Amino acid sequence: QKEVEQDPGPLSVPEGAIVSLNCTYSNSAFQYFMWYRQYSRKGPELLMYTYSSGNKEDGRFTAQVDKSSKYISLFIRDSQPSDSATYLCAMLWGGGYQKVTFGTGTKLQVIP
């Protein structure tokens, strides 16, 4: 069993739809939970991060963490074609927060 499970997709949605991206994890040592967006042939960029269970909102994006279920989600409201990318969940852990475990990434396509 992988430490982080993420459905690779691809996920195709019409423009304006609400997108739900999810990851499950098994390591209780994970401390920070992050979502990265990666456009094709580019480096990932940080979208959101959370430390504790609950919701965190930033514009059209909401990150949700449920530590009891070891489940994190990223919601995208009013999805746009420019949101088409691969979304990677990532968990930070270890002394000095030097360890990062990535999900496999979910490829999202928003169709105009």
Partner 1 sequence: GAVVSQHPSRVICKSGTSVKIECRSLDFQATTMFWYRQFPKQSLMLMATSNEGSKATYEQGVEKDKFLINHASLTLSTLTVTSAHPEDSSFYICSATGGGAFPGELFFGEGSRLTVL
Which letter does DSSP use for residue 69 in this model?
Answer: T
Give the per-residue contact string, 47-86, with partner 1 (x = CB under 8 A; - = no): --x-x-----------------------------------
Distance CA 60, CA 75 (A): 8
CA distances from 79 to 13, 17, 27, 96 (A): 8, 5, 31, 36
Q: Which of 15, 45, 66, 78 binds partner 1 (CB under 8 A)?
A: 45
DSSP 51: S
13 lies in the site for partner 1, by CB under 8 A: no
Binding site for partner 1 (CB under 8 A): 8, 32, 36, 41-46, 49, 51, 88, 90, 92, 96-98, 100, 102-105, 107
